[in-house]
Amino acid sequence: MIDNSIFLSDLGIKEVNEGTSSGSNWILSKGNCNEVFSPVDGKKIASVIETDEEAYEKILKISSKSFIEWRKITAPNRGEIVRQIGNALRKNKDQLGRLVSYEMGKSLQEGLGEVQEMIDICDFAVGLSRQLYGLTMHSERPNHRMYEQWHPLGIVGIISAFNFPVAVWSWNAMIAMVCGNVCIWKPSEKTPLSAVATQNIIGKVLKKNNVEGVLNLVTDCSNQILGKKIASDSRISLVSATGSTRMGKSVAEVVGKRLGKSLLELGGNNAMIISENANLNIAIRAAVFGAVGTAGQRCTTTRRLIIHDSVYDKFKLLLVKAYGQIKIGNPLNEDNHMGPLIDKNAVKMYQEAIKKIKEEGGKVVIDGEVLRGNEYNSGCYVSPAIYEVKNKFKTVQTETFAPILYLIKYNKLSEAIDIQNAVPQGLSSSIMTSKISEAEEFLAASGSDCGIANVNIGTSGAEIGGAFGGEKETGGGRESGSDSWKAYMRRQTNTINYSDDLPLAQGIKFDF
């Protein structure tokens, strides 16, 4: 029996927790007190008091005032505070990873891995704090100098999703922070305790450095209006939202009406092409983890396998054998590979998707079912399923956030690429091949249309060093590594005249 009270206590989680914070201080709110239950065992974890209108306004005023001073602090000094946050997360990795696993339902290894991503992005942001580079340009006018520089935007609103309760926040917040912005985080209403625990950890660092109003938290567990409030608030310069395509379209519309900036990380319908030249030992491992990791609740989950007809039957047999070895149960037990779905609504969506795929003509390879019994008494456990389909099926064209894998056969690589691209989403993709010409064709402009394209690794497991995001209905945003920091800043072009004359551009004469 795992004693959850120990790691909850270590993280400062009480029976009832405030859900509004300006950094190191918790703001009293008269919002609803909402109970949070674990999908692992159906038990209540704790309660969170959500942010009311008055508390929200306090956070906006504090963060607006804080930005005026925070932007004046040098970027390397901002990076030093991020370094301390990374060290605080290192000390609390085990406890926070366990809470993420227990509150969300992902395996303990994945929960710990998510906290490691937070630590890694802190390290990345510390280095970035000394590399916020601009460019210099040659002016066509004599004795003039041109260059560009980057300035912080202001307040960044971060709306994160339940499947990565803490990591995606850190991708945004740590980068935005070293860029000189202040952040307001609205976590998923399904996983507020992981956010409260994170705030408890970083609050000590912020208090030590006398920093307030830079990393703020607001929660919305019942009425679900804070996301719309953040999107419509003209005081918030950038809204970074992670979630479904439907949610992203709503956020983009609201932010667009006020001509604000949005960074969207939305749905994926990710495919893995398995070539006749693939190393099937690598491919089977990548396919299984990609399909059942986080119980299929990743935006980068492998949802479609596009398999060459010459290896199709063999690979299908390998899948069936591998799926027979998957252990499903309490994710805090490290012997288990897959935990529950997030809640009973997710289970209902899983059941509806299976029903629809059969109605459209999908052929059962491994049928999915809701698992029953004492170990599965939360009602959130399901079995991973596999169906043979056609890519044009309506259900295949949508993102089902569950461990449902579709098999599609192909003959020519160009056909496989066309199948992969023929969905509305464009997040992640991969090809399994030992033939370099196939890999290069897949990576060419005429190849994968996704923001992420991998060779001989799966569709999930992105590293923080690269820009993360996708095209089409995935939203077009980029977070985390590379030069994604530019999304959190405003570009300014500067021209300096150091002569005693005023020559005009393009040779224009204006004498008087």
Along the chain (512 residues), what's the average pLDDT of each consecutive run of 10 residues? 79 98 97 96 97 97 98 98 98 98 97 98 98 95 96 98 97 98 98 98 98 97 87 98 94 96 97 98 97 97 98 98 97 96 98 98 98 94 98 97 98 98 98 98 98 97 93 96 97 96 81 70
Catalytic residues: 265, 299
pTM of the model: 0.96
| Distance from C-alpha of 149 to C-alpha of 147, rounded to nearest angstrom | 7
Cβ proximity of 448 and 289 under 8 Å: no
Q: What is residue 510's predicted lDDT score, i.e. its pLDDT?
A: 74
Cβ proximity of 407 and 386 under 8 Å: yes
H or E element in which residue 274 lies: strand 270-274
**Residue pointed to by tokens 């499903």:** 328
Q: Which tokens is 474 given?
A: 């995935």
Q: Which tokens is 368 given?
A: 């999915």
Q: DSSP for 137-153, please give it.
A: EE-SSTTEEEEEEEEE-
Other C-beta atoms lying within 10 Å of the C-beta of residue 251: 26
Cβ proximity of 343 and 380 under 8 Å: yes
Q: What is residue 5's predicted lDDT score, i.e. its pLDDT?
A: 76
Other C-beta atoms lying within 10 Å of the C-beta of residue 511: 3
3-state secondary structure of 265: strand
17 beta partners: 48
Q: What is residue 148's predicted lDDT score, i.e. its pLDDT?
A: 97
The 3-state DSSP composition of the chain as helix, strand, coil percent (nearest 5) reads 40, 20, 40
Positive or negative CA dihedral for 225, 228, 232, 235?
A: positive
Q: What is residue 210's predicted lDDT score, i.e. its pLDDT?
A: 97
